[in-house]
């Protein structure tokens, strides 16, 4: 029984020989095909995500100037994702603070006193609601301190329900997977051991000299 098990586990010599004779580019092709299939499958299985963005703008009062508004816009962009703002936004968005922390991002411009608030969700309507809720809460907190900052925050554009997903399509993930698979196949091709012709060729042994050759040399 042990001999049968050992014989079954013994690698097929013909299969190994065929693998050794395969052309080098076959590794690249196999890696690209496998990576493309895995990437495409990931794009199909993964649920699409949607992103909605709202914008608020900092406006200086009569006692301030545009430079101050630009500086406060940068500060408000960092404050927008803090717990004080998100705590109020969760009431209007209808989601926990943790969801807002994971889904909302802000961005500012060095040239314009504007703050963009983007929210991502698997539901397009929820993405728009979260972005508008955070913008509303941020505007409220900023205007409560308007007497001290001399800068007012106003809503510039509300977030609308996105009609297209912001996540990559299965075709894009398939191309990314194919590129990654081809790259891995190329790395394997570079690091695999190379066969040397001299090592594989048996050493030649000089044949024994015949008696006629010996007499001729003498």
pLDDT tens string 141-198 = 999 988 889 999 999 999 999 888 765 555 555 566 667 766 666 666 666 666 554 4
| Higher-pLDDT residue of 52, 26 | 52
What's the confidence (pLDDT) of residue 49?
87
Q: Are 61 and 146 in contact (CB under 8 A)?
A: yes
What pTM value is reported for the model? Answer: 0.61
What's the mean pLDDT when you consider all of the chain?
76
Tell me the C-alpha distance between 52 and 35, whole Å.
31
Of the candidates 115, 133, 137, 128, the one whose C-alpha atom is nearest the C-alpha of residue 57 is 115
Lowest mean pLDDT segment, chosen from 5-9, 56-60, 124-128: 5-9
Secondary structure (3-state) at 214:
helix
183 or 55, greater pLDDT: 55
Where residue 207 falls among pLDDT bands split at 50, 70, 90? Answer: low
- pLDDT interval class at 64 (50, 70, 90): confident
């Amino acid at each position: 029984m042990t001999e049968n098990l050992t014989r079954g586990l013994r690698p097929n010599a013909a299969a190994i020989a065929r693998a050794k004779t395969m052309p080098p580019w076959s590794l690249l092709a196999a890696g690209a095909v496998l990576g493309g299939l895995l990437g495409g499958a990931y794009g199909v299985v993964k649920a699409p995500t949607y992103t909605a963005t709202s914008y608020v703008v900092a406006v200086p009062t009569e006692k301030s100037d545009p430079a101050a508004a630009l500086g406060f816009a940068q500060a408000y962009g960092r404050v927008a994702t803090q717990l004080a703002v998100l705590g109020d936004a969760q009431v209007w968005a209808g989601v926990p603070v943790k969801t807002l922390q994971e889904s909302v991002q802000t961005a500012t411009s060095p040239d314009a006193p504007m703050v963009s608030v983007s929210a991502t969700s698997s539901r397009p309507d929820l993405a728009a609601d979260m972005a508008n809720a955070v913008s509303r809460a941020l505007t409220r907190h900023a205007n409560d301190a308007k007497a001290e900052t001399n800068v007012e925050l106003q809503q510039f554009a509300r977030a609308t329900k996105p009609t297209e997903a912001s996540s990559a399509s299965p075709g894009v993930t398939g191309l990314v997977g194919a590129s990654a698979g081809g790259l891995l196949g190329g790395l394997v091709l570079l690091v695999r051991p190379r066969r040397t012709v001299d090592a594989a060729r048996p050493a030649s042994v000089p044949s024994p000299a015949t008696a006629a050759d010996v007499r001729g040399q003498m």
